[in-house]
């Protein structure tokens, strides 16, 4: 047995496992970026609640708008095609678009709720 051949095959990367690992890494990066943004918006709301500053209020509202637009940016990647069976493709597209807008609004409401939860948890942590 040739030692160089042995060493060259010692560290091989199976193709299937690399694709799964890359997908997990990409999802983790996306999730933690989104989580960081939740905390940032939560902190802005927390500081606005504590200070009553109109500037912080508007920055917080703008940050919520940016998160909403961020959710909208996933329209082309996460298109739910509920009405794909319809013959009238224009009607199907309109109905699918409505479903996707509703999903995005629900995601925004969840983001808004999660921001409130983060703010209350930050308030509890600050009070301790």
Query: What pLDDT tens digit does each residue of the chain (128 aa) get?
Result: 677 777 777 666 666 667 778 888 999 998 898 888 878 888 888 888 889 999 999 998 898 888 777 766 766 567 788 998 999 999 999 999 999 889 888 887 887 787 777 777 766 676 55
Count of domains in the chain? 1
Q: Range of 80's domain?
A: 28-127
Whether 2 is covered by a domain: the verdict is: no
Is residue 13 included in any domain, yes or no?
Answer: no
C-alpha span between 14 and 103 (Å, rounded)? 37
Q: Is residue 81 part of a domain?
A: yes
In-domain check, residue 90: yes
């Amino acid at each position: 047995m040739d030692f160089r051949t042995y060493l060259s095959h010692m560290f091989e990367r199976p193709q299937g496992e690399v694709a799964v690992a890359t997908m997990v890494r990409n999802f983790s990066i996306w999730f933690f970026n989104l989580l960081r943004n939740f905390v940032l918006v939560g902190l802005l709301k927390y500081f606005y609640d504590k200070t009553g500053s109109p500037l912080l209020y508007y920055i917080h509202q703008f940050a919520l708008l940016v998160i909403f637009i961020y959710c909208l940016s996933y329209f082309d990647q996460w298109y739910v095609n509920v009405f794909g069976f319809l013959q009238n493709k224009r009607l199907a597209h309109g109905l699918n678009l409505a479903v996707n807008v509703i999903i995005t609004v629900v995601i925004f409401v969840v983001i808004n709720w999660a921001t409130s939860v983060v703010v209350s948890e930050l308030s509890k942590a600050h009070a301790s």
